[in-house]
C-alpha cells in the first residue's frame, strides 16, 4: 500500500524538476540574447561616434578651405580694383587748361579750398573713409546712421548709432558694425511729405584733403541715396567752394585695414543708386 502511494509523489517531483530545468534554460537563453543586444548596441554607438567625429573633421577642413578661398578672393578683388583704376587712368584724355592768373581769382576766393561735387572724407574717431556728396543746397551735413538710440550720460543727452551702409559703399570693414557714441549738440526739424521729423545732430572730427575740423551731422538712414555722407553749407562756409564739373579732387585718407589711396579710383565709380 505504501509503495503505491509513493509512486504518484515521485512522478510529480520529477515533473516539477523537469519544469524548473526548462525555465532555467529559457532564462539563460534570454540573458544570452540580452548580452548580444547590449554588445550590438555598444558596437553601433561606437560606429556612430566615429562617423560623427569624421564628419566634424571634414567640416572643419572644408571651412578652412572656404576661409582661405575667401581671403584669396579678397586679394584678387583688390588687385582687380588697382588694374581697373590704372586702365581708367590710361584711357583718360588729358585736360588742357589755360593757366589762371591771380588777377582772375577774386580776393575772397583765393584762400578757399576747391571741392568737386563728390569727395572722399575721413572720420578719424570712427576710423573710416566714406564718399561724400558736396551740396550747397543743403544747410546741415548728414551722416547715414542706423540703430539710433538716445540715452543720458552725466546729465547730458547722448546718442548711440552705427553707420548705415550699402554693400557698394566703400568703408573700413572693421567699423561697419561698430557702435559710435557722441553727445547730442542740438536737434533739427525736417519737413517731409509724411509729416515733421526731429533728428539728433552730433559733432564729429572730419578730414577732407587739407581740411580738418569738427563737423555737425544730422543722423538719418541714407542707404537709399547715392552717398553715405552729405556736406552742406554749414561745413563749406568761409573755407571751400565747389566746382560741379569736378569729382574727387582730393586723395582718399588712409586708415588701418583700408585700401591704399592709389586704388581709390576704382571705388569712385557710380553705383547706380538714387541721387541725394
CATH code, domain with 189:
2.40.70.10
Q: Are residues 25 and 136 in the same domain?
A: no
Mean pLDDT of 123-151: 95
Q: For residue range 197-216, what is the model confidence (pLDDT) as tens digits?
A: 889 999 999 999 999 999 99
pLDDT value at 145 more than 70: yes
Mean pLDDT of 176-195: 88
Q: For residue range 149-178, what is the model confidence (pLDDT) as tens digits?
A: 999 999 999 999 999 999 889 999 999 899
Mean pLDDT of 64-91: 73
Q: Are residues 91 and 154 in the same domain?
A: no
Q: Is residue 101 part of a domain?
A: no
Q: Are residues 157 and 248 in the same domain?
A: yes
Last residue of a domain, one of 44, 73, 96: 96
Answer with the residue of higher pLDDT: 2 or 228: 228
Q: Are residues 116 and 91 in the same domain?
A: no
Residues spanned by the domain of 66: 1-96
pTM exceeds cut of 0.85: no
Q: Are residues 42 and 73 in the same domain?
A: yes
Q: Give the per-residue pLDDT at 97.
A: 45
Highest mean pLDDT among 7-16, 54-63, 87-96: 54-63
Mean pLDDT of 126-154: 95
Q: Are residues 261 and 155 in the same domain?
A: yes
Percentage, residues of the chain above pLDDT 90: 42
Q: Are residues 36 and 122 in the same domain?
A: no
Q: Which of these, 179, 178, 180, 182, lies nearest to 156 by C-alpha position?
A: 182
Q: Give the per-residue pLDDT at 252.
A: 95
Q: Are residues 179 and 240 in the same domain?
A: yes
pLDDT value at 237 more than 80: yes
Q: For residue range 79-94, what is the model confidence (pLDDT) as tens digits?
A: 777 677 667 666 655 5
Give the model's confidence band at 96: pLDDT under 50 very low, under 70 low, under 90 confident, else very high. Answer: very low
Q: Are residues 81 and 142 in the same domain?
A: no
pLDDT value at 262 more than 80: yes
Mean pLDDT of 16-42: 69
Q: Give the per-residue pLDDT at 18.
A: 55
Mean pLDDT of 207-236: 94
| Mean per-residue pLDDT of the chain | 81
Mean pLDDT of 60-67: 84
| Structural domain count, the chain | 2
Q: Are residues 10 and 51 in the same domain?
A: yes
Amino acid at each position: 500500500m505504501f509503495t503505491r502511494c509513493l509512486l504518484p509523489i515521485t512522478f510529480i517531483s520529477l515533473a516539477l524538476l523537469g519544469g524548473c530545468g526548462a525555465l532555467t534554460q529559457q532564462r539563460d537563453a534570454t540573458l544570452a540574447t540580452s548580452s548580444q543586444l547590449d554588445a550590438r548596441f555598444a558596437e553601433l554607438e561606437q560606429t556612430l561616434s566615429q562617423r560623427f567625429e569624421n564628419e566634424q573633421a571634414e567640416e572643419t577642413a572644408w571651412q578652412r578651405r572656404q576661409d582661405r578661398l575667401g581671403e584669396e578672393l579678397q586679394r584678387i578683388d583688390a588687385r582687380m580694383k588697382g588694374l581697373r583704376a590704372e586702365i581708367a587712368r590710361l584711357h583718360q584724355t588729358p585736360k588742357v587748361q589755360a593757366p589762371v592768373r591771380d588777377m582772375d581769382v577774386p580776393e575772397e576766393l583765393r584762400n578757399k579750398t576747391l571741392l568737386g561735387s563728390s569727395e572722399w572724407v575721413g572720420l578719424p574717431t570712427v576710423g573710416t573713409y566714406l564718399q561724400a556728396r558736396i551740396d550747397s543746397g543743403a544747410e546741415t551735413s548728414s551722416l547715414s546712421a542706423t540703430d539710433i538710440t538716445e540715452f543720458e550720460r552725466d546729465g547730458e543727452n547722448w546718442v548711440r548709432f552705427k553707420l548705415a551702409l550699402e554693400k557698394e559703399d566703400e568703408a573700413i570693414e572693421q567699423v561697419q558694425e561698430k557702435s559710435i557714441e557722441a553727445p547730442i549738440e542740438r536737434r533739427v526739424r525736417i519737413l517731409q511729405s509724411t509729416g515733421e521729423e526731429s533728428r539728433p545732430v552730433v559733432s564729429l572730427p572730419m578730414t577732407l584733403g587739407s581740411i580738418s575740423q569738427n563737423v555737425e551731422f544730422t543722423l538719418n538712414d541714407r542707404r537709399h541715396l547715392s552717398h553715405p555722407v552729405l556736406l552742406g553749407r554749414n561745413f563749406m562756409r568761409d573755407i571751400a567752394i565747389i566746382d560741379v564739373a569736378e569729382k574727387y579732387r582730393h586723395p582718399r585718407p588712409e586708415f588701418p585695414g583700408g585700401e591704399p589711396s592709389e586704388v581709390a579710383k576704382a571705388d569712385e565709380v557710380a553705383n547706380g543708386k538714387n541721387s541725394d
